[in-house]
Amino acid sequence: MNLTMRALIAVVATAAIVGLAGAYIGAAALQGDEPSPAADTPSPAATTPAATPSPTATPAPAATTPAGTTASVTSDWKEYTDAELGFTIFTPDGLVRTESVIQLTEIGEIPAIERRQIIFKRDDGQPVVWVSMTPNPAGVPLEEWIRTVPGWPCEPGASPTCDPELVTIAGVEGIRFSINVLGEPIARVYFAGGGTIYSLGGNVLGALGYGAALDEVEFQAIIDGFRFGSTPAGTTASVPSDWKAYTDPVLGFSLRFPPDLTAKDLTTPGNTSGLSERVIDIRSEADPSRGVSISVSSIDADLTPEEWALKYTACLPDTIEETVVEGYPAVSCIANALRAHPSLIIHSLDKVYLIGWRLAPEESDGMLASLRLPRK
């Protein structure tokens, strides 16, 4: 599966490899996903993990109900949006954020790369939530990536062992483990998006000698609240506070838009063709040339996103580019011969969102940054 997502705006097709940067077994710690205590914070007495057999090939995990109880992020939690990759995560209030970079050495087709790690911890150093981000330039499939870099934690005959679970996070499929390759208990989800492998961990079972800092419901709330950024990596877009908000009453997608625009539902009643099942026009009454059109259709399962764009839109073939929107693979294009008006095509779950922009670039970027698509 191609996880290299390029610039701008989008056809989103549900896709995902699960995985994330992990850890080599080292003398002091895993060179991987486990949180590393910062030098300026106290650390409890070290413990030596018991040796476990080297990982060997195991069957892929069977699909299961996501672990834990579905939970909503509480109103007093804090929102963090990563400036580099654009993802957003919600964490309990009152935590200190630290960042570090670890150099991973070349392993097979996986080149030497730098892994970023962000840890949210309490003032005494107790880790609460951590997320690691590792580029995947070779496009290695998730399960292969896990086996190659950190190692597959759950192996038959190991002591202890565990059953990996398939979960959904930010609209993509992830794998959740309850132990690491040393057999230490740890709650962690591997998943991928936008050419990066992520590992999201929560201190549900204790970490670095500290006791648990979250319960299972809270960790599930963190999983449910995680989302990918809608803007391409390396770019930033702000959403002005005076912008209006629109949430679709039928499909549940939402976005914000400039205050001089008005949203209107132009859906044709009784349309059963599968095309333009929902049509929303957001436009300036004073200047009708300023606006955004959103058309939502059913996915034609036989077509790739690019094929769908070529069949059903006026996209110019040489302008089609891959990108990522809300964690879904996507394509953008220019949709008329004058090459003036960009379009975005998003494959999300069982729908295709076609968005046409006639706004200033910074306004289009702001609307795209605010876009939230339905989840399973």
Instruction: Summarize pLDDT for 73-88 with one digit per residue, the tens.
Output: 566 898 888 878 878 8
Question: Is the pLDDT at 370 greater than 60, yes or no?
Answer: yes
Question: Is the pLDDT at 130 greater than 90, yes or no?
Answer: yes
Name residues whose C-beta falls within 8 Å of residue 214's C-beta, 6 or more positions apart in sequence.
92, 128, 129, 202, 203, 204, 222
Domain range 244-370, CATH class: alpha beta
Question: Is the pLDDT at 95 greater than 80, yes or no?
Answer: yes
> Over the stretch 16-66, which tens digit does the pLDDT of each residue have?
222 323 332 222 233 346 665 443 333 333 333 333 333 333 444 443 333
Sign of the C-alpha dihedral computed for residues 7, 84, 152 and 200 taken in this order: negative
Q: Is 332 helix (H, G, I), strand (E, B) or coil?
A: strand
- 335 vs 293, residue with greater confidence: 293
Question: Is the pLDDT at 353 greater than 80, yes or no?
Answer: yes
pLDDT for the residue numbered 160: 65
pLDDT for the residue numbered 161: 66
- What mean pLDDT is reported for the chain? 76
In 3D, which of 183, 191, 206 has the Cα closest to residue 17? Answer: 191
Question: Is the pLDDT at 163 greater than 90, yes or no?
Answer: no
Highest-pLDDT range among 72-76, 285-289, 323-327? 285-289
Domain layout of the chain by residue ranges: 16-228, 244-370
pLDDT for the residue numbered 53: 35
Beta bridge partners of 200: 131, 189
Highest-pLDDT range among 3-17, 68-82, 307-321, 337-351? 307-321
